[in-house]
Chains A and B, each alone.
Chain A
Amino acid sequence: MSVVGTLEGASSKPSAAGSIRRRLGPRLYGVLLIAAILLFWEVSSRLGWIVSAYWPPVTKILWAAISQLGGGDILVSLAATLRRALTGYAIGSVLGIALGILLGKSKVLRIALLPLIEIVRPIPTPAVIPPLILFLGVDDALKIFAISLATFFPVFTNTFAGVATVDDTLIQTARTFRTSWARTLLRVVLPATLPAIAAGLRTATSLALVVAVVSEMVAGSSGIGYYLVEMQYALRPDLMYAAVMYLAITGYAVNRLFLVLEARLIPWMGKT
């Protein structure tokens, strides 16, 4: 019995270690590279290879980031930014999906609105923020408008293209059953377009975050974008980089969350 037990233990252990190595193997190099870069950063700052008030050691940044967890300006700023980004994202997405489907199905609307959309689309959103201050002020209205605008275009373009590629058989089938126009849109076109919409929505998440931060940098008194500029002017690069770190974590988390939701809610994604 005991012999068998040891044998089993012995045979299972290396396989477990092997599987960990197999799973980590390729990633291990990535992690090592990041660690090496951070170490180089730390040393270059500590030994004064780079003379600059804006090159703090990594450990100092990490310490600043950790000390913020006990209730600091960074998390409050991040919350303000996320609230704006989410609001603008929601507005831009709803408009993008609605107009994308409507324009995809209606020739009249297409002729009326598409030229305007195509003219506005190539304008980079950050470029219109300063002139927009005149009309929308410097508060939430301006930022949420800019975020909605940035969100709208990828969502609209993907939805519009998605509607165009809906299998005609599906539409014809709905028509055979005398399904109403609205019901066809909601029950046939929308589900078939969802994968395309989801792709647009995912592109828009990172754009929403970027435009939220940029708009706060240009005009504002709250949010992580303002905090970044404020800390540069206050000569606190450790807190500035800490804020950048939190932003990176947020961006990564949002993207992961989106992938999970996508897999859950649109299981037919990627299948035709």
Chain B
Amino acid sequence: MRKAFMIGLAVLGFFVLSPQRATAADLEKLRVSIIPINDVAPLFVAIQNGYFRDLGLEIDTTPSAGGAAGIPGLIGGSFDIVYGNVVSVLLASQQGLDVKVIAPGTKVSARDTDTTPILVRSDSGIKNGKDLEGKSISVNTRNNVIWLYARAWIKATGGDPDKVTFKEIPFPQVEDALRQGRVDASFLVAPFSIVSRQKPGLTAIANPYSDIQLGVDVGQYITTGKLLSAKPETIKKFVAGLRKGVEWFNANPSSDALLTMISGYTKTDASILKSIALPAMPLHTDLPQVKKTMELMIENKLLPGPLDLSKIIDPIAL
């Protein structure tokens, strides 16, 4: 009687546990830190279309709204892969942190899909970097990619970036700060750059990425050199899955399926997303573009000298 019960229990256990076990054992887990914005849409495409599952990977995304936890979390071992921006990666590497770029994230490839303008109040009369001298401009974080290209644009249009006050304001608060005159200009990203211009009063005077360096690689997927040498196959699979996601994204721009999916992880209303022109996503990291960014960093004293990019950007990304 008791034996029969035990056998019954074992059979039951097998049926209850086996499907879960099969998936859990077969799939290798990767923890990816993301920022919940349009940039990481190809990653979510690849997750939802099962590209990673087919390769034996399970992707666990951890959103970090401000993006501040990304690289420290990667070095601390909380994440396997982090979505970050080119300037932060080069800075981290310069500080001796073991970071490797394994895939491109976003690229400003065409002017008409560049949704990152510098905005001013329409009645302010500010038109270029020279007009901004003695005034203020907002960036989301100092010493990052936004800050760097804002400085480069000010210089390129006749101003001295050292005579402009840079204020740190998170993207969601920029429109209010600008309208209330707490800052004179703002370098803003989508969807905020789109939504804030739906009401009158604000004007875009420049698109620094397109103006300074059309083709700039803005975002990257990063891992540590340690993980890359310990699990090269896993990383290879991740990059392959992500590339399939990019291909699908580029083949289905502004489709309802894509917008619903972006709306799902950003929680932004699909009607707002519809008004944003989505840029094509890159398949390969563009080394000369990263080099140009590095030179800008040296010019703005973010880096003391050139870095060996072949050591930071793994061949797998190229």
Contacts and interface: CB of A to CB of B under 8 A. Distances in A.
A134 B75 contact: yes
A235 B201 CA distance: 19
A101 B47 CA distance: 54
Contacts, number: 87
Contacts of A235: 172, 191-192, 195, 268-269, 272
A138 B267 contact: no
A203 interface: no
Contact of B266 (A130, A136, A138, A233): A233
A137 interface: yes
Interface string B168-180: 0011110110010
Given A219-B69, A233-B37, A53 B196 contact: yes
B175 A133 contact: no
B66 interface: yes
B56 interface: no
Nearest to A239: B267
Contacts of B191: 235
A226 B179 contact: no
B36 interface: yes
Given A54-B172, A54-B176, A138 B195 contact: no
Interface residues of A, number: 27
A206 to B, nearest CB: 24
A231 interface: yes
Interface string B187-219: 000011001100101000000000000000000
B267 A230 contact: yes
Interface in A114-157: 130-131, 133-139
Contact of A139 (B78, B175, B266, B272): B78
A226 B267 CA distance: 13
The 4 nearest A-B residue pairs measured at CB: A234-B267, A137-B78, A219-B69, A232-B172
Interface of A: 51-54, 130-131, 133-139, 217-221, 226, 229-236
Given A133-B72, A226-B63, A232-B170, 6 more contacts: A54-B176, A130-B68, A131-B72, A137-B77, A138-B73, A226-B65
